[in-house]
């Protein structure tokens, strides 16, 4: 299967409170993986464990900054390692795909 790599440049503010698009079809798989598609797209997008966790935290209540903090606490094991840019990139892609609003 071919893999498409997409670089999305978006100005994501840490105060923004993203929420899931209510028009999505979401199916959980093993190991925390999610398959997501909208009702018009027959090809689902696969989210790995970390991306799926980021998506699950987009509830309209948490800010992007809070999501970064939660993901950092759950997944970063090396002192000084920052995943802020990775989380922002994931949120930008989810927004670009209209999976979050």
CA distance 76 to 81: 7
More confidently predicted of 33 and 90: 90
CATH topology of domain 24-96: Arc Repressor Mutant, subunit A (1.10.10)
Quote helix, strand, coil % in the chain, to nearest 5.
Answer: 35, 15, 45
Return the ∠ at Cα 48 (arms to 3 and 74), rounded to 5°.
145
Closest CA to 84 of 97, 99, 74, 71: 71
Determine the pLDDT at residue 9: 53
Return the ∠ at Cα 70 (arms to 38 and 13), rounded to 5°.
65
Enter the pTM of the model.
0.83
The mean pLDDT value for 60-83 works out to 89
Q: Where are the domains of the chain?
A: 24-96
CA distance 94 to 88: 10
* Phi, psi values for residue 89, rounded to 5°: -65, -45
pLDDT per residue as tens digits for the range 2-44: 444 455 556 899 999 999 999 898 888 887 778 788 877 767 8
Determine the pLDDT at residue 27: 86
- C-alpha 2 chain-centroid distance: 21
């Amino acid at each position: 299967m071919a893999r498409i790599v997409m670089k999305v440049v978006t100005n994501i503010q840490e105060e923004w409170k993203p929420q899931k698009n209510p028009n999505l079809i979401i199916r959980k798989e093993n190991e925390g993986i999610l398959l997501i598609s909208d009702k018009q797209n027959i090809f689902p997008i696969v989210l790995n464990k970390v991306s799926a966790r980021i998506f699950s935290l987009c509830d309209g209540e948490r800010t992007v900054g809070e999501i970064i903090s939660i993901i950092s606490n759950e997944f970063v094991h090396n002192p000084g390692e920052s995943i802020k840019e990775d989380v922002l990139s994931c949120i930008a892609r989810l927004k670009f795909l209209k999976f979050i609003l």
